[in-house]
Amino acid sequence: MLVAPALGTEGRAGRFGDDLPLTDAELAPARALAAPRADLVLAAPSARCRQSAAALGRYGAGVGAGVCGGALPTEPALAEPALVEPALAGLDAGDWRGRRLDELAATAPESITRWLSDPDFAPPGGESVSALLARVGGWLDALPADTGRLLAVAEPAAVRAAVVHALGLPPAAFWRLDVVPLTLTALSGRAARWNLRCGAPLPPLPPPLLAPVG
């Protein structure tokens, strides 16, 4: 189960790889949602993924509801911190890190055109889409058969790469997939035989239980 992190300044600005931490206001939507039940919780290395995982996990990543229909948690329950998984990081932008897409489109239009059309093209010092697909696909294929229900807060680019790899889509499909913040993309099955359910909203937290009076 792959969850995209909460939206922060970087995403709204269309900026490459700033890895700015999320503010309390930006994390508020995550804190209002119930994490799916999982046996293992992972997070990409970025601040926004680790913060989003902590916000969801605080309400019991082991007891929530998800695509497979677990029961909603009835009260907040601290969960184990998410383990950091480097394979789920976003596309390394290299020298483009910190720059806006519209700025690069104006100053280096040929490079942006190649980046969007050639999966083997990489920004200077960065990573190509092909390399990202190989990284995420290798992680997905290497998951042990007894992993159980795995929940990972992953960068949107890593979620897209997982879908492309799992379904055997051409690399060009990477740019045709949209991943909405705080939505669930679920892959069930095994290597070479994955089924996909994408874009499911996370359920809201139920109201806390009130202690009986008297």
Report percent pLDDT > 90 for the chain: 53
Q: What is the pLDDT of residue 57?
A: 60
H-helix or E-strand containing 191? none
d(CA 61, CA 54): 9
pTM (2 d.p.)? 0.83
Q: Which of 6-15, 61-70, 117-126, 177-186 has the least mean pLDDT?
A: 61-70
User: In this structure, what token pair is assigned to residue 183?
Assistant: 């939505």
Are the C-beta atoms of 43 and 53 separated by less than 8 Å?
yes
Q: What is the pLDDT of residue 84?
A: 94
Q: Does residue 127 or residue 76 have the better pLDDT? A: 127
Average pLDDT rounded to a whole number, residues 190-208: 75
Q: What is the DSSP string of 135-179?
A: HHHHHHHTS-TT--SEEEE--HHHHHHHHHHHTT--GGGGGG---
Q: What is the pLDDT of residue 42?
A: 94
H-helix or E-strand containing 190? strand 183-190
Q: What is the mean pLDDT of the chain?
A: 82
Q: What is the pLDDT of residue 165?
A: 95
Q: Does residue 12 or residue 67 have the better pLDDT? A: 12
Average pLDDT rounded to a whole number, residues 152-180: 94
Are the C-beta atoms of 5 and 52 separated by less than 8 Å?
yes
d(CA 200, CA 214): 42
Q: Is the pLDDT of residue 75 over 50?
A: no
Q: Which of 69-78, 94-103, 117-126, 128-137 has the least mean pLDDT?
A: 69-78
Give the pLDDT band (50/70/90) at residue 109.
very high
Tens digit of each residue's pLDDT (9 = 90 or more) over 22-68: 999 999 999 888 877 888 899 999 999 999 999 886 444 333 333 33
Q: Is the pLDDT of residue 11 over 90?
A: no
Could you count the other beta carbons within 10 Å of the beta carbon of residue 128?
A: 18
Q: What is the pLDDT of residue 125?
A: 94
Average pLDDT rounded to a whole number, residues 165-171: 95
Phi and psi angles of residue 57, each rounded to the nearest 5 degrees, phi first: -65, -25
Are the C-beta atoms of 162 and 184 separated by less than 8 Å?
no
Beta 40-43 vs 193-201: how paired, if at all?
unpaired
Q: What is the pLDDT of residue 208?
A: 60
